[in-house]
Amino acid sequence: GYFVLLFSTLGYFFPIFGEGNTPAAVIGASVLLWAVHFLVLRGIKEAAFINQLTTVAKIVPLVMFIVIAAVAFKADIFTR
């Protein structure tokens, strides 16, 4: 499901992926799924590294949003 969402999003920038249900998107998602599978098969250390990497990839945009929102916040709009 996540790979369909990923390729659906990539379809916005690369029309070949369409809405995540084109043959190119299915092949791309399959390749990524098998790559993750083989990384997990290599051992727990590699799987833990991939887990840490995806956690950082989720947290960084959230922290960036909070920082940008704090910098761009205009308190005077609420005090008038």
Model confidence pLDDT, tens digit, residues 43-52: 888 778 888 9
pLDDT of the residue at 38: 87
Other Cβ atoms less than 10 A from the Cβ of 17: the count is 22
pLDDT digits (tens, 9 = 90+) for 1-36: 888 888 999 999 999 999 888 999 999 999 999 988
pTM for this model (two decimals): 0.60
Do 24 and 47 sit in the same domain of this protein?
no
Do 38 and 50 sit in the same domain of this protein?
no
pLDDT at 75 over 90: no
The total domain count for the chain is 2
Domain that holds residue 7: 1-42
Do 15 and 51 sit in the same domain of this protein?
no
- How far apart (Å, rounded) are the C-alpha atoms in residues 10 and 16? 9
**Farthest CA pair distance, the chain:** 61
Rg (CA), the chain: 19
pLDDT of the residue at 1: 82
